[in-house]
């Protein structure tokens, strides 16, 4: 199992943009690409498909900012102590992405560690 922690910052989105994104089911993949968050850092499990599926599920205040990789088991190992040390200075909501043995990716949003 791989675990990736991502930090995201809070943003407010204009009401016009929010209406356009959520009221229209005709949003094309090209339109969606313009709003997808940038992933800062190298992730093995955060693919374009994962970003697309997560984007509309995020709270509006969490949309519009880059996702910053803080911890990855492929880069930092499996030690919980290492995870807690890396997360110690993070003072914003956190997304946890877990990939199971069948390659399914499950995202979780938490406020604080």
Query: pLDDT by residue (tens digit) across 1-40?
Result: 444 555 444 445 555 566 666 655 555 555 666 677 787 8
Please state, in angstroms and rounded to a whole number, the distance separating the CA atoms of residues 103 and 95: 18
Residue 15 to residues 62, 80, 83, 112: CA-CA distances in angstroms?
Answer: 14, 40, 37, 28
Q: Which two tokens stand for residue 11?
A: 């943003």
DSSP 60: G
pTM: 0.62
Query: pLDDT by residue (tens digit) across 51-100?
Result: 888 877 777 777 777 888 888 888 888 898 998 898 888 887 788 888 88
Query: pLDDT by residue (tens digit) across 56-70?
Result: 777 777 777 788 888
Q: Which residue, 76, 74, 92, is CA-closest to 1?
A: 74
């Amino acid at each position: 199992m791989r675990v990736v922690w991502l930090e995201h910052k809070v943003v407010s989105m204009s009401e016009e943009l929010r209406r356009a994104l959520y009221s229209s089911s005709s949003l094309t993949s090209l339109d969606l690409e313009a709003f997808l968050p940038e992933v800062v850092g190298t992730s093995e499990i955060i693919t374009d498909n994962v970003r697309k599926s997560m984007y509309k599920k995020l709270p509006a205040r969490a949309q519009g900012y880059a996702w910053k990789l803080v911890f990855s088991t492929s880069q930092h190992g499996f030690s919980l102590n290492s995870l807690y040390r890396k997360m110690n200075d993070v003072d914003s909501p956190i997304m946890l992405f877990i990939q199971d043995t069948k390659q399914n990716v499950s995202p979780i949003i938490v406020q604080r560690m």
